[in-house]
């Protein structure tokens, strides 16, 4: 087997028993690093310290990850002028926190016969927030609801958005 020392230096190709004796002499563990290599590669290290470092790295990686959650906002097709403006301020606040926002227009009763009212409300939200958000998913109707998904603008916009706002305005509503 090929043996690597505690400091990362190559100790050469040695017999298994000689490697075990070396590990015992310097009070370290013999850990097989690459079992499929020819010859297999083993390393001398303190295994407890190694595991501790791995756990510490994982914890740091988890802490630095940013989880995005999807927040939902319900509105009605006949929402008032002031109400829609306050909902847009709420959308901007949620997007500022880093969350995505799914805006639902909920239809009840005879409102189901007029999906264009819901589309009009969603289109108004898209038009008013045009410069401040990315429309991740355009208007789509699911059962008694019509919804869109809005995401915060990336810090560095490297790619073009999937669809422009004007394309979304001219698109047909998808029924799913």
CATH number of 93's domain: 3.30.110.10
Whole domain around residue 86: which residue ranges?
70-171
Which of 38, 36, 14, 34 is closest to 25 using CA atoms?
14
Which of 108, 71, 115 is closest to 91 using CA atoms?
71
Q: What pLDDT digit, counting tens, does each position of 10-38 carry?
A: 989 999 999 999 999 999 999 888 889 98
Domain assignment present for residue 176? The answer is: no
User: Within 13 A of 37's CA, how many CA atoms are on the CB side?
Assistant: 11
Does pLDDT of 72 surpass 70?
yes
Q: Which of 46, 64, 82 is the last residue of a domain?
A: 64
Q: Which of 49, 64, 79 is the last residue of a domain?
A: 64
Q: What pLDDT digit, counting tens, does each position of 100-138 carry?
A: 999 999 999 998 898 999 999 999 999 998 888 889 888
Which of 174, 88, 80, 83 is closest to 125 using CA atoms?
88
CB contact at 8 A, 77 and 116: no
How many angstroms separate the CA atoms of 14 and 175, rounded? 68
| Claim to verify: residue 10 and residue 80 sit in the same structural domain | no
pTM for this predicted structure = 0.53
Does pLDDT of 159 surpass 60?
no
């Amino acid at each position: 087997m090929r043996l690597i020392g505690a400091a990362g230096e190559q100790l050469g190709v040695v017999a298994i028993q000689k490697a075990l004796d070396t590990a015992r002499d310097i009070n370290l563990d013999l850990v097989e690093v690459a079992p499929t290599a020819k010859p297999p590669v083993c390393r001398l290290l303190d295994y407890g310290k190694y595991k501790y470092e791995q756990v510490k790295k994982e914890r740091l990686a988890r802490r630095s990850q940013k989880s995005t959650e999807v927040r939902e906002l319900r509105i009605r097709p006949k929402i008032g002028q002031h109400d829609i403006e306050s909902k847009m301020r709420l959308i901007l606040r949620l997007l500022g926190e880093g969350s995505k926002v799914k805006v639902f227009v909920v239809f009840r009763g005879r409102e189901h016969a007029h999906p264009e009212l819901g589309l009009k409300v969603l289109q108004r939200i898209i038009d008013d927030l045009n410069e401040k958000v990315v429309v991740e998913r355009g208007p789509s109707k699911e059962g008694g609801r019509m919804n869109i998904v809005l995401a915060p603008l990336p810090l560095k916009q490297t790619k073009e958005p999937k669809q422009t706002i004007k394309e979304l305005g001219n698109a047909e509503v998808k029924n799913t």
